[in-house]
Amino acid sequence: MSRVPILLLVAGAAGAVGCVYYNGMWSAEQLAKEARRAEQRGSPFDARSFWARAAVKAESVVVQHPRSRWAEPALVLQGEALAKSGACDRAAVPLGAAARAIRSDALRERAALAQAECTLAGNAPATAAHQVADVTQSRDAGRRSEAAFLTGRAAELAADYASAAEWYGRSASSAAAPARARVLLAAGRAPEALSLLDTVARRRVRETDWGPLLEDVARSAGPDTASRALDGLLMRQGRHLPTGTRGRLLLADGDRLLNAGRPPAAGARYAQVVGLMPDSLEGQQARVRALRVLATQADSMADLVALRARLGRLIQGAATADARTLEALLRHVLDAGDVQEGGQFRTAELVRDSLAAPHLAGRLFVGFARTHPGSPFAPKALVAALAVLPDAHDSLVAALDARYPASPYTLALRGADSPAFAAAEDFLAQSLGVEREALQEASFVRRVAPPVPGPRGPTLDPPFEAAGAGQPASPPARARPRPGQRDDEPARRPRPVGRPASSPRDSL
């Protein structure tokens, strides 16, 4: 064989090998581009899938062609892709190797950014900020922007909201402005955050950004402010916002308003959802929740019967779970009443606590006291009505003073000592079939705390140490209260059907 064919064969083989590892690297980079596009359009699950596939392609180049000129870029891309796909435990090896061996500034900066991302996932903000400190001064604008964003995340994780807001402000990332608004809200700088949201609303909107942001606005500035922020967003985006996104944001806004005690405003939001997408899951959920709003505004038990009949037509719809939950609640309320005093009193409590219908609950409490004036629970019913019928305050107090001046509930309301109060509560619990837990506080009443959320039964007794000398021995110390929980809450009873454990109500 002549030397020419041999040389041609060798050259062809070398070209084939080069083509193989070039194609592998090209495929990895294309998958990385698809991952970034998915991140930009707010599809994190798609992005992670693309990153995972890119990691596999890049790893094959590193393993099969460790001496090629593509080996170092492939090593960094492998580490990046593993980090962004959530596999930080596997990313540590290639990123560590890149940090030790690679001389290219650009590749080292990319590796540092990926390392910092994994460090943040491991809840080590100070270390992450140190890892990207040099990259914040990079000559490359894209990497400099990403480093600023990661430094902002580190500051936010460390609860340094002022610093986080500054770093987010330096980043050009599409996620930076919503993140800056979030930390401004956390820092108590609501006006600045709302002004920034007005600017963000003029850009391309991602539901994954705005859903949590509106929740943050509601927590910091109230649900009404969050509702106005949503109105501004919808006005600026118009029809550019997908119908599904609009519907879900409106539905969540209605839920916030309803939970905050704004039934009319919540009903208006639900009506918007039904008008926007009537046959969708969100539209069916809005129909059910609109009936829930009407239930909170009921004036009579007949209103609840009518609502239950309307709800029956939605049981088989897309929002079956929501409809069945509300139907079970209405059934429990409507079936609870009986001729016994305890059953009637319990119905009033269910309407107030589970159905959150204050006006109807007040009428039932007053009706109970009128029907059973000699019942030991009659004064308690009037006290309970005080909290839900503020317009009738004077007449209810006058009725208590005139008819039940010596009742433990009347005395407690006036701030007088009431040794019989605990016994009355025990008797009531037994009559309702509820096992009353041991009293956590002293038996003697010195004052009446203002009405606060809590389980049934007024919070009437002060902490024992405030009762003075000569009182009965204090019970064992209670556990430290959770954040937002009063340390003088009464013993907890089983919560009413249909209401979450986090929002019980108090008789007062």
Please tell me which of 16-30, 197-211, 298-312, 412-426 the model is most confident about, judged by mean pLDDT: 298-312
- pLDDT tens digits along 25-59: 899 899 999 999 988 887 889 999 999 999 999 99
- pLDDT tens digits along 443-490: 323 333 444 444 444 444 444 343 344 444 444 444 444 444 444 444
Torsion of CA 137, 140, 143, 147, to 10 degrees: 10
Residue 451 CB contacts under 8 Å (≥ 6 apart), including other chains: 387, 506, 508
What percentage of the chain exceeds 90 in pLDDT? 45
Lowest-confidence pick of 18-22, 330-334, 338-342 = 18-22
Q: Domain range for residue 409?
A: 359-433
Please report whether residue 289 resides in a domain. no
- pLDDT tens digits along 353-371: 888 999 999 999 999 899 8
Please report whether residue 48 resides in a domain. no
Q: Which of 218, 165, 174, 226 is nearest to 200 (CA)?
A: 174
Rounded to whole angstroms, the Cα distance separating 369 from 138 reads: 76
Please report whether residue 234 resides in a domain. no
Count of domains observed in the chain: 1
Residue 476 CB contacts under 8 Å (≥ 6 apart), including other chains: none
Return the sign of the alpha-carbon dihedral for residues 30, 31, 34, 35: negative
Lowest-confidence pick of 267-276, 287-296, 395-404 = 395-404
Please tell me which of 4-8, 12-16, 288-292 the model is most confident about, judged by mean pLDDT: 288-292
Please report whether residue 377 resides in a domain. yes
Mean pLDDT of 54-71: 88
What percentage of the chain exceeds 70 in pLDDT? 75
Torsion of CA 95, 100, 104, 107, to 10 degrees: 10
Lowest-confidence pick of 119-123, 126-130, 251-255, 499-503 = 499-503
Interhelix angle for 190-200 vs 176-186, to 10°?
Answer: 160
Query: Is the confidence at residue 13, as pLDDT, over 70?
Result: no
Mean pLDDT of 201-208: 78
- Identify the band that residue 117 occupies on the pLDDT scale cut at 50, 70 and 90: very high
Please report whether residue 197 resides in a domain. no
Mean pLDDT over the full length of the chain? 80
Please give the single-letter amino acid code of residue 374: G
- pLDDT tens digits along 261-291: 899 999 999 999 999 999 899 999 999 999 9
- Identify the band that residue 194 occupies on the pLDDT scale cut at 50, 70 and 90: very high
Residue 36 CB contacts under 8 Å (≥ 6 apart), including other chains: 47
Query: Cα–Cα–Cα angle for 431, 328, 271, nearest 5°?
Result: 130
Residue 155 has a pLDDT of 97
